[in-house]
Amino acid sequence: MARAAAPNSVAPPVGFHLNRSTPLGRHALLAVFPGLDRLETAARQEPSAAGRRALYDTTAIELVADDVWMYVAPWKMPKGAPRRWRPVVAPEMDCIVVGESHLRESPALTLFLDIFHELCHIQQRRAGRSLFDRRTSYVRRSTELEAYRFVVDEARRFGVADATLREYLRVEWVTESELAELYAAMDVPAA
């Protein structure tokens, strides 16, 4: 899961589009983020054209009214999931859940970073990795670190400032000391 960054003057790369008027429900990934598969970021994430096509053609977006950012829908309810979290469960399907207000109101840069973060998780799960291992701290989980590293590196390619990256990395489910650890892991100065 990733969260929103504060608005800033840096826009996502040219060619990034999103359909903010998408109705609630399940949709093809490219119906919500048209042309995403043709961005340079997509090619860096999945260099194989066939692999990219498979990733984008078989991943869905489920837009929900819940107050959430984005997350990969688990195939079944994760063991030890917090009681307050009732995720969309998509058995044997790759589905990224997006909160309606996030899609409609968040800065385009945030949505760009979030969708690529979640696509990293889809690739990780397809490689047989667990996305919901609660035995490891969120900021030490290899799957999260890899996904954050990818989007932080991409953001730096087009000039996103450290202050914006700090805000992007700030998520409500980590403590201040965990956040400092995440900043350090991403080579983002604390301030």
pLDDT at 84 over 70: no
127: its two tokens? 């490689």
Alpha carbons 82 and 78: distance in angstroms, whole number: 9
- Locus of tokens 């949505």: 111
For the chain, the structural domain boundaries read 25-185
Alpha carbons 122 and 96: distance in angstroms, whole number: 8
112: its two tokens? 């760009």
- Its pTM stands at 0.91
Alpha carbons 128 and 136: distance in angstroms, whole number: 17
Give pLDDT tens digits for 132-150: 877 888 788 899 999 999 9
Give pLDDT tens digits for 20-78: 999 999 999 999 999 999 999 999 999 999 999 999 999 999 999 988 889 999 988 77
Report the length, in residues, of the chain. 191
At position 70, the amino acid (one-letter code) is: M
Is 160 exposed, middle or buried (CB count within 10 Å of its CB: 0-12, 13-18, 19+)? buried
pLDDT (0 to 100) of residue 116: 98
Alpha carbons 70 and 130: distance in angstroms, whole number: 17
